[in-house]
Amino acid sequence: MIEENQKEITPEIERDFGFTPDFEKSKYFLEANDGAGNTFKATAKPVLIGTAVVGATTMIFSLILVIESTIGIKPEEVLNVLNPWTVLGFLLGGAVIYWFTGASIQAVTTGAARATEYIKKNINLDPNAEKKADIEKSKEVVQICTVYAQKGMWNIFIALFSFALAFAFLSAPSGLTEGMNEADTLANSLPVAMFVGYLLSIAFFGLYQAIFMANAGGSWDNAKKVIEVDMQEKGTDLHAASVVGDTVGDPFKDTSSVAMNPVIKFTTLFGLLAMEIAISVHFRAIAPYVGLGFLVVALYFVYRSFYKMRINQ
């Protein structure tokens, strides 16, 4: 409207609102305020993730107390960095966080590519064509983006759910039986540290990854705004090179970073419930076998999150 319909829209604005619009100044202020909005979002989103970490830490502490009362061991004897299961849990949590960021961006990118492909096939380049967008075709574009977002969401949701159950069940003290002496009880209880380490890793890797992605995405997007607003280089090669501010910056700050909040809360909540089941006397013996089944399911949906969401040429 601003670029091509100024002559038609100006009389309407003057008649309805009683002033003559300055379109160039309006564009400048809109783009400048967009940059301010990016900064606000990049600042606020890590605070949101921080609240999830506080809640997760509380639930993890509750889980530690459950382990202590159910198994009858002192938490400090197994929850330490000298226990290799603890280190393994940290590594697994970090791996899941980095997979999630890649998979969520992949889903957004695939949806955007499909929408762009549709627009290229259906765009009307006739200079005499109506300037307004076709409502039905606009709905088609929205549907394409929604469908691919939902496909990506299901892959990610099922994988995260399966990982939480798999690692909880694999951490069960399957060899622990009643009547064992203190040394044997401690030796068979060491695997429970893996899941506690996993939850801690999800919380803290997720927090710092979210801070990084929010700030990096906001910086990329604002770099593009500086070129457009302050340098007035729109339409130049420099501006074309800065489009990465939208294609990468927006998914960073608006998709992957803020989505860490439900990932941390969801994993911790379901993990707490799953671990209570895993360490129960009647289930701990078969828990690792069930965990292997959930691990296979999780890895399959990790595969789907990338290879079934590819942008085919």
Instruction: Answer yes or no: is 7 within a domain.
Output: no
**Average pLDDT over the chain, rounded to whole?**
84
Shortest CA distance to 215 belongs to which of 38, 10, 42? 42
| HSE toward the beta carbon, residue 8, CA cutoff 13 A | 8
Residue with the bigger pLDDT between 86 and 220: it is 86
Q: Is it the case that residue 29 has pLDDT exceeding 50?
A: yes
Instruction: Answer yes or no: is 241 within a domain.
Output: yes
Q: Do the beta carbons of residue 219 and residue 182 sit within 8 Å?
A: no
Instruction: Answer yes or no: is 2 within a domain.
Output: no
Residue with the bigger pLDDT between 176 and 166: it is 166
Q: Do the beta carbons of residue 298 and residue 163 sit within 8 Å?
A: yes
> Could you tell me the residue range of the domain that residue 67 belongs to?
24-307
The whole-number pLDDT of residue 220 equals: 83
Number of other residues whose CB lies within 10 A of the CB of residue 223: 15
Instruction: Answer yes or no: is 278 within a domain.
Output: yes
The whole-number pLDDT of residue 1 equals: 47
Q: pLDDT (tens digit, 9 = 90+) per residue, 139-175? A: 888 888 888 778 888 899 999 999 999 999 999 887 7
Shortest CA distance to 2 belongs to which of 22, 20, 23? 23
Q: pLDDT (tens digit, 9 = 90+) per residue, 236-294? A: 888 888 887 777 888 888 777 888 888 898 899 888 899 999 998 889 889 999 999 99
Q: pLDDT (tens digit, 9 = 90+) per residue, 55-76? A: 888 899 988 998 888 888 888 8
pLDDT band at 195 (very low <50, low <70, confident <90, very high): very high
Q: Do the beta carbons of residue 100 and residue 298 sit within 8 Å?
A: no
The whole-number pLDDT of residue 129 equals: 66
Question: What is the tally of structural domains in the chain?
Answer: 1
Q: Is it the case that residue 127 has pLDDT exceeding 80?
A: no
The residue type of 241 is A
Residue 72 main-chain phi, psi, to 5 deg = 85, 35
CA 182/CA 185 separation, integer angstroms: 5
The whole-number pLDDT of residue 4 equals: 60
CA 76/CA 89 separation, integer angstroms: 16
Q: pLDDT (tens digit, 9 = 90+) per residue, 38-52? A: 788 778 887 888 888
Q: Do the beta carbons of residue 97 and residue 89 sit within 8 Å?
A: no
| HSE toward the beta carbon, residue 39, CA cutoff 13 A | 11
Instruction: Answer yes or no: is 69 within a domain.
Output: yes
Reported as type and span, the H/E element at residue 39 is helix 23-71
Instruction: Answer yes or no: is 291 within a domain.
Output: yes
3-state secondary structure (DSSP) of residue 28: helix
The whole-number pLDDT of residue 87 equals: 94
Q: What are the residues whose beta carbons fall under 8 Å from the beta carbon of 42, sequence distance 6 or more?
A: 214, 215, 217, 218, 219, 253
pTM of the model: 0.83
Q: pLDDT (tens digit, 9 = 90+) per residue, 153-163? A: 889 999 999 99
Instruction: Answer yes or no: is 89 within a domain.
Output: yes
The whole-number pLDDT of residue 88 equals: 95
Instruction: Answer yes or no: is 5 within a domain.
Output: no
Q: Do the beta carbons of residue 216 and residue 252 sit within 8 Å?
A: yes
The residue type of 288 is P
